[in-house]
Structure 1
């Protein structure tokens, strides 16, 4: 009898191991496929109470924004806000976890240490439940995602499946809902405000701007400057200004371009006959988002040229 019982346990153990291995194999294939396939839904959209929201569930693919169409400043904003070591870790930020444990043990406010990759794993496959089992499974899936996906794909997935308001999933839908414009038209400040809602999308609103959103978005913009070396916040204005500065803030940029900031629209004028930046014409009018994009290209080109010159001098 005892020998038969031992045999049964071995048999059941083999069956269980086979089931686990089989499930793991198919789950790995699913994760690998999602490197190229955009999901129409996630665990979070399936768990959403759409009836309470008064709307129907929709496919995430309908508003999907490909990685190449997501502005660099929006990608930088989410990294600056949620995971500043995103490009350095492999799914788990062990340093942030240690810091969070220490702060929690000191009795301070409970602090999370989830990376962007962990948030993707949670949003795709799990639930918002707060327990150690879910966090353990989330960590394992995050490592798997880092193995199979690129960092750009992880960012693209995160921005297209994250919730930016009650029932508002993905930046494609969020930009239209909050700002009435496409993702490519969003300014630096709008990107920072949109990212601000991510920790609590059911409560925080990107518009109208509350004191919290204003302060938090300013903090994000400051971190974007520290991470990139580029400028996203206006320079402090002197106490004494001339007549023209009283009307609009003046700032000199490369190629002798004088940019005059005016609310809503920005008028470009050329103080001399120097060469112009690509796409810039004397007396042209540009939106803030168009100017943001052009300034970023100018500064990136300047940084690249400095790097080339340094390498030639060495």
Structure 2
């Protein structure tokens, strides 16, 4: 009687199977790691809703480079309301009306050929507190992802409070309290409308401009900011941050 032939299956655990299992395991761990990082980032943002940020990467770099920096955190109640309005007038006039990105400003910047900035106060807070300075695409992508989450978790008043406390006003001078003392020898709570406008006027380039020795250009910009701050107070655009 002829012997029946038995089919032989390829042994499990061959090179192809091992490779497939390794790929699946790697992908699974990558997904887990990505989810963990997202949850950690959300928790980090949530903590800073209540805890004052100690600074950011750029502030730390300047501290390392200079050996010391000037900075003292003050709550919003210890900042002159006109300073908050001046910062909004200078940097983000639609601050109370957007959710982190000013679409109108972005469209205008595109139409101007990209020569005009469209970064909101919220985006600047994300850059200064959670990320790093520069124009790289990875930073822009992270900024675009973090900004709406922060807007969702923080109040507008908190966003502006953090912004005013981490913004750079001169080389090694961070935050509005240090800036008020540095330029005018007074507390942030005692700033006049003109002083607030001058401080806001140097924000785009604080290392190249001075609030106590303003150039004609800075003076003209400060005058426009002062008018803009008054307009914001009248038309209700300061309502979201109590200004």
Smaller-chain TM-score bracket: 0.7 to 0.9
Cα shift at 1:132: 2.5
Cα shift at 1:40: 2.0
Cα shift at 1:8: 1.7
Counterpart of 2:133? 128
Question: Does structure 1 conserve the Cα–Cα contact (< 8 Å) formed by 2:57 and 2:128?
Answer: yes
Question: Does structure 1 conserve the Cα–Cα contact (< 8 Å) formed by 2:75 and 2:161?
Answer: yes
Partner of residue 83 from structure 2, selected from 74, 78, 86: 74
Question: Does structure 2 conserve the Cα–Cα contact (< 8 Å) formed by 1:43 and 1:127?
Answer: yes
| 1:138-170 superposed Cα distances (whole Å, 9 cap, x missing partner) | 121111110110000000000000100000000
The answer on 1:155 being equivalent to 2:170 is no
The answer on 1:188 being equivalent to 2:193 is yes
Counterpart of 1:96? 105
Distance across 2 between alignment mates of 1:201 and 1:50: 19
The answer on 1:170 being equivalent to 2:175 is yes
| 1:51-106 superposed Cα distances (whole Å, 9 cap, x missing partner) | 4x4x4246x5xx111012212111110111110111111111122112111211xx
The answer on 1:206 being equivalent to 2:215 is no
Structure 2 segments unaligned to the other structure (5+ residues): 1-14, 236-243
Query: Residue 169 of structure 2: SS of its match in structure 1?
Result: coil
When residues 102 and 6 of structure 1 are mapped into structure 2, their CA distance, relative to the original with a 3 A threshold, is farther
Matches within 5 A, 1:154-303: 154-229=159-234
Query: Residue 96 of structure 1: SS of its match in structure 2?
Result: helix
* Segment drifting more, 134-143 vs 79-88: 134-143
Counterpart of 1:292? none
Partner of residue 56 from structure 1, selected from 60, 68, 83: 68
Partner of residue 16 from structure 1, selected from 21, 27, 30: 30
Structure 1 segments unaligned to the other structure (5+ residues): 231-314
Cα shift at 1:49: 5.6
Partner of residue 116 from structure 2, selected from 98, 103, 111: 111
Distance across 1 between alignment mates of 2:88 and 2:112: 22
Partner of residue 94 from structure 2, selected from 85, 90, 94: 85
Question: Does structure 2 conserve the Cα–Cα contact (< 8 Å) formed by 1:117 and 1:154?
Answer: yes
CA RMSD of aligned residues (A): 1.6
Query: Structure 2-normalised TM-score?
Result: 0.86
Query: Structure 1-normalised TM-score?
Result: 0.67
Distance across 2 between alignment mates of 1:151 and 1:33: 16
| 1:289-311 superposed Cα distances (whole Å, 9 cap, x missing partner) | xxxxxxxxxxxxxxxxxxxxxxx
Distance across 2 between alignment mates of 1:96 and 1:87: 14
Q: Which has the higher contact order (CA 8 A, sep 6+)?
A: 2
Partner of residue 28 from structure 1, selected from 39, 42, 46: 42
Query: Residue 229 of structure 1: SS of its match in structure 2?
Result: helix
Cα shift at 1:131: 2.2
Deviation beyond 6 Å, 4+ runs, structure 1: none
Counterpart of 2:18? 4
Distance across 1 between alignment mates of 2:115 and 2:83: 27
